[in-house]
């Protein structure tokens, strides 16, 4: 399959789609050239005018209809996403819930913000000061292969609710899921041209950046840098959601059975191909052994692949074949530096798919690639620490800062530790799932990204903020021409509005009265 993908890259007119669990071809789409991208965005620009003109109620009606479409077509979504992406069908079906909540959040926000937000006019007495949020125009999305359906829908919702048209370039690994997304929006009644896909590799993504008014990129830090450089040429605003190397800190008092199960879920969900999946584990030295034993017992029971063909399994194949090189390199590096392999560490090539066995390692040290870089697979490397302080120091010793987790019976202590970890999201006694709590912002520090998607913050990515101030005639008091009292009048105003003591404010009133301009 890797060979097939390389060949596709050299002849990019058609983009072929494969089932990663068996290498079977599923379909193909045409690669969009730079001219195609230009035409698609031009079409989106025209469509956006009508979409904006529908008003917030008209748009919200359609977007809320999408909730029904997602529920009605959930099983079909599960089947297609599973076949092109490899994950168990239950996972994409489960993600329709957060998508519906995302729609509720952002349609609600659009409605709330539509009349404008009144703010204090400060010392412009009698003035009206309001903030309006207007669509930017066309929002572009360049997305990865690991959650093509969930991210493909979720990130476009705030942009659409704000009145933008959207154009997405899904990963080259999942063009058919991209087409399914367009169909779901069409089914909900979104007018033609408001939601469109362009397909292809990096060049298509680059061409999209050149054309749109704002770009949301989700992918690796390496590509993220290129995206930011390209967007700088047109001063296009960007939000970047990049990789992670999330630490899990197991405290002395953790419930080991629950923690072992949670860590397996946090590493093996979506076969570990999760930006905020657990990537490295720190545990008190005397707990490493019992924790490793419990984890090995759990992963041995997981079903990998779908021998029954009924979609009932826990871990799918590697979705993107080149990941195998990273898994092998990180495993070899850890073993060569003294780690002990407790389970997995190999690939199973059954039926033309690549199934990486959940890999449990102990004896980890911080110089190992697995502790430093994103592995992006079902890996549970456990490193012994002497104290909570050491665990926090090591968790923060990373160029990434996307997520982290703390496992403890003492919630208050866990929350206190969460505050000290440099990461965009920290969970106590869970991992990964905060990405599904769509009212929370999501994003990272350092190499993990710039800005936040999700939560109310996501809405503001896709709007032009406009301040409107309406003033009565009295606001002319500090206009030109100045006279001898102008400076004292200005100081008087500052004392009246910003003075810290009553006496200071009263003296400000006197200054204002004495120096009020006589010319008008
Ligand atoms: P990638 O960076 O290789 O590709 C992402 C997208 O960028 C693809 O659509 C690709 O075609 C496109 N692209 C490639 N080169 C480009 C260029 N020069 N200009 C414009 N677009 C270009 O990432 P990937 O391998 O698809 O995804 C895996 C990565 O995504 C991991 O690092 C993972 O952690 C990250 N990720 C992050 C989040 C998050 O929310 N933080 C979510 C999911 C995945």
Element (H, E) at 329: helix 323-336
**pTM: predicted TM-score of the whole model, two decimal places:** 0.95
Assigned token pair, 191: 């007018």
pLDDT of residue 519 exceeding 70: no
Q: In ligand 1, which atom is closest to the CA atom of 222?
A: 2
Element (H, E) at 375: none
- pLDDT value at residue 274: 98
Assigned token pair, 241: 């959601």
- The sign of the torsion formed by the CA atoms of 363, 368, 374, 378 equals negative
Considering only 268-272, 309-313, 356-360, which range has the smallest mean pLDDT? 309-313
pLDDT of residue 287 exceeding 90: yes
- pLDDT value at residue 163: 98
Residue bearing the CA closest to ligand 1, atom 40: 241
Residue 242 beta carbon below 6 angstroms from any ligand 1 atom: yes
Give Dmax (Cα) for the chain.
Answer: 91
Place of tokens 């389970």: 343
How far is it, in rounded angstroms, from Cα 157 to Cα 460?
12
Q: How confident is the model at residue 7 (pLDDT cuts 50, 70, 90)?
A: very low
Q: How confident is the model at residue 307 (pLDDT cuts 50, 70, 90)?
A: low
Asked if 241 is an active-site residue, the reply is yes
CA angle 112, 113, 118 (to 5 degrees): 110
Q: Is 269 helix (H, G, I), strand (E, B) or coil?
A: helix
Residue 201 beta carbon below 6 angstroms from any ligand 1 atom: yes
- The 10s digit of each residue's pLDDT in 446-477 is 999 999 999 999 999 999 999 999 999 888 88
Q: Is 406 helix (H, G, I), strand (E, B) or coil?
A: strand
Residue bearing the CA closest to ligand 1, atom 21: 205
- pLDDT value at residue 520: 52
pLDDT of residue 72 exceeding 80: yes
- The separation between CA 190 and the C-alpha centre of its own chain, rounded to angstroms, equals 24
Q: What share of the chain has pLDDT > 70, as a percent? A: 97
Options 84, 172, 241, 279, the catalytic residue: 241
Q: What is the mean pLDDT of residues 42-63?
A: 98
Mutate to test the pocket of ligand 1, among 12, 175, 219 (most ligand atoms within 8 A of CB): 219
Cβ atoms 364, 382 nearer than 8 A = yes
Q: Is 386 helix (H, G, I), strand (E, B) or coil?
A: coil
The residues facing 1 across adjacent strands are: none
Angstrom distances, CA of residue 195 to CA of 112, 138, 402 = 24, 10, 29
Strands of the sheet containing 128-135, edge to edge, are 117-119, 128-135, 463-470
Helical segments of 388-454, H only = 388-396, 411-420
Q: Is 121 helix (H, G, I), strand (E, B) or coil?
A: coil
Q: How confident is the model at residue 12 (pLDDT cuts 50, 70, 90)?
A: low
How far is it, in rounded angstroms, from Cα 120 to Cα 497?
12
pLDDT of residue 31 exceeding 70: yes
Asked if 275 is an active-site residue, the reply is yes
Q: What is the mean pLDDT of residues 179-193?
A: 98
Domains of the chain: 36-242+456-465 (3.40.605.10), 246-434 (3.40.309.10), 474-515 (no CATH)
pLDDT of residue 2 exceeding 50: no
- How remote is the CA of residue 220 from the centroid of ligand 1, in Å? 5
Size of the chain, expressed as the number of residues it contains: 520
- The 10s digit of each residue's pLDDT in 89-140 is 999 999 999 999 999 999 999 999 999 999 999 989 899 999 999 999 999 9
Mean pLDDT of the chain: 95
Residue 243 beta carbon below 6 angstroms from any ligand 1 atom: yes
Closest to 199 (Cα-Cα) out of 333, 74, 17: 17
Assigned token pair, 263: 């860590």
- How remote is the CA of residue 218 from the centroid of ligand 1, in Å? 5
Three-state secondary structure string covering 135-180: ECCEEEEECCCCCHHHHHHHCHHHHHHCCCEEEEECCCCCHHHHHH
How far is it, in rounded angstroms, from Cα 411 to Cα 251?
11
């Amino acid at each position: 399959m890797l060979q097939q993908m390389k060949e596709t890259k050299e002849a990019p007119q058609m983009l072929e789609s494969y089932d990663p669990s068996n290498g079977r071809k599923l379909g193909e789409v045409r690669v969009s050239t730079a001219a195609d991208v230009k035409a698609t965005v031009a079409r989106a620009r025209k469509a956006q005018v009508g979409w904006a003109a529908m008003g917030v109620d008209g748009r919200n009606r359609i977007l809320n209809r999408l909730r029904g479409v997602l529920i009605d077509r959930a099983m079909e979504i599960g089947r297609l996403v599973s076949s092109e992406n490899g994950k168990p069908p239950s996972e994409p079906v489960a993600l329709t819930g957060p998508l519906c909540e995302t729609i509720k959040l952002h349609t609600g926000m659009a409605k709330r913000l539509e009349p404008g937000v009144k703010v204090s006019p400060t010392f412009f007495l009698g003035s009206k000061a309001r903030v309006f949020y207007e669509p930017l125009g066309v929002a572009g999305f360049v997305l990865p292969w690991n959650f093509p359906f969930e991210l493909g829908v979720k990130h476009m919702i705030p942009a659409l609710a704000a009145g933008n048209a959207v154009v997405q370039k899904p990963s080259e690994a999942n063009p058919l899921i991209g087409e399914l997304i367009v169909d779901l929006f069409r089914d909900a009644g979104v007018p033609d041209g408001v939601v469109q896909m362009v397909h292809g590799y990096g060049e298509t993504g680059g061409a999209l950046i050149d054309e749109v008014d704002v770009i949301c990129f989700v992918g690796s830090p390496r590509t993220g840098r290129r995206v930011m450089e390209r967007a700088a040429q047109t001063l296009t605003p960007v939000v970047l959601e990049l990789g992670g190397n999330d630490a899990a800190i197991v405290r002395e008092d953790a419930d080991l059975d629950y923690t072992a199960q949670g860590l397996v879920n946090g590493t093996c969900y979506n076969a570990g191909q999760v930006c905020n999946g657990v990537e490295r584990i720190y545990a008190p030295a005397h707990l490493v052994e019992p924790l490793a034993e419990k984890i090995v017992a759990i992963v041995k029971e997981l079903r990998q692949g779908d021998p029954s063909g009924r979609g009932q399994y826990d871990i799918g194949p590697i979705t993107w074949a080149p990941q195998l090189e990273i898994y092998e390199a990180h495993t070899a590096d850890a073993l060569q530096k003294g780690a002990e392999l407790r389970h997995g560490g190999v690939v199973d090539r059954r039926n033309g798919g690549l199934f990486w066995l959940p890999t449990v390692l102990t004896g980890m040290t911080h110089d190992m690639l697995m502790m430093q870089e994103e592995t992006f697979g079902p890996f549970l490397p456990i490193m012994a620490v002497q104290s909570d302080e050491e665990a926090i120091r090591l968790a923060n010793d990373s160029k990434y800062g996307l997520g982290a987790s703390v496992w403890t019976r003492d919630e208050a202590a866990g929350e206190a530790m969460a505050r000290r970890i440099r990461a965009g999201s920290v969970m106590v006694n869970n991992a990964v799932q905060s990405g599904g709590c769509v009212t929370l912002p999501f994003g990272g520090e350092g190499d993990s990204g710039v800005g936040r998607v999700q939560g109310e913050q996501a809405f503001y990515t896709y709007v032009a903020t406009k301040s409107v101030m309406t003033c009565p005639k009295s606001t002319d008091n500090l206009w030109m021409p100045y006279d001898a009292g102008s400076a004292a009048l200005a100081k008087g105003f500052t004392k009246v509005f910003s003075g810290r003591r009553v006496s200071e404010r009263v003296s400000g009133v006197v200054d204002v009265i004495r120096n009020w301009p006589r010319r008008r």
